[in-house]
Structure formats: structure tokens, C-alpha cells
């Protein structure tokens, strides 16, 4: 895990940090070539820095971690994990490291990467 990400996570509640780390591991497995950047308390994963190539965002909060999925609106979500009403993006609230490993969540990551 890159040191900017680790620095951000050391500022978080230990359970939130553990959840974020578990989620980041899942993203890295689905998207190993991602460019990782930290901006404003969020961890971005994309084809480059900035919004244009963004695929995923991990945002630690007080009691959960939000996984933002760029282009999530078009993904199949039979488990109903995704939230949001925007035209393009969706998000999933992840509350524990175990939730980060849910097969349905891993499938969302893979489905997003299949859009490329």
C-alpha cells in the first residue's frame, strides 16, 4: 500500500482503517495497474491522476467506508449494494472488513473493470 494511503488511514478509527485496507486490497486485486492517488481524504484508483480516468474512490468516514464506483449506474447489482441517484456514479457503504470481501462486492469491482 502506498505511503500516502497509509498516512491517511493512520488518522482514521482503527476499525474504519481496517475496513478501508480490506477494500483497497480488493480493488488492487481487480485493478492491479491502477494509479493510486490521495486527495482531500479520499483514495482514488484510475488510469491516471485526476477525475477523467477515475474508476474507484475509497472514502473513509466516521463509521464506514464509502466505495465510489465511476460508471456504476450501468452495472448489474442483483444484491442491491449500490446507492445513489446520479446519472453516472454509484457508491457502496462498507462497514466491516468482512463486508469488503463479500463476493457480490468483488463482482461489482470486476464488472466495472469489464467496462474498459
The whole-model pTM stands at 0.94
Which strands make up the sheet holding 65-69, listed edge to edge?
35-39, 42-46, 54-60, 65-69, 90-94
pLDDT at residue 53 in the model: 87
Residue-range definition of the domain harbouring residue 109: 3-114
pLDDT at residue 48 in the model: 81
pLDDT at residue 104 in the model: 97
- Tally of CB atoms within 10 A around 26: 21
CATH number where 33 lies: 3.90.1150
pLDDT tens across the length of the chain (116 residues): 789 999 999 999 999 999 999 999 999 999 999 999 999 899 999 998 777 789 999 999 999 999 999 999 999 999 999 999 999 999 999 999 999 999 999 999 999 999 87
Exposed / middle / buried, residue 102 (Cβ in 10 Å: 0-12, 13-18, 19+): middle
Task: Dig out the grid coordinates for 16 from the structure.
Answer: 474504519
pLDDT at residue 1 in the model: 78
> Domain tally for the chain?
1
Amino acid at each position: 500500500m502506498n505511503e500516502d494511503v497509509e498516512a491517511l488511514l493512520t488518522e482514521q478509527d482503527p476499525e474504519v482503517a481496517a475496513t478501508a485496507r480490506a477494500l483497497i486490497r480488493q480493488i488492487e486485486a481487480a485493478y492491479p495497474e491502477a494509479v493510486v492517488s490521495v486527495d482531500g481524504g479520499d483514495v482514488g484508483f484510475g488510469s491516471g491522476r485526476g477525475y477523467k480516468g477515475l474508476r474507484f474512490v475509497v472514502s473513509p468516514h466516521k463509521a464506514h467506508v464509502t466505495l465510489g464506483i465511476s460508471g456504476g449506474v450501468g452495472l448489474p447489482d442483483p444484491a442491491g449494494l449500490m446507492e445513489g441517484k446520479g446519472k453516472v456514479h454509484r457508491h457502496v457503504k462498507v462497514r466491516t472488513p468482512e463486508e469488503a470481501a463479500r463476493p457480490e462486492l468483488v463482482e461489482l469491482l470486476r464488472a466495472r473493470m469489464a467496462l474498459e
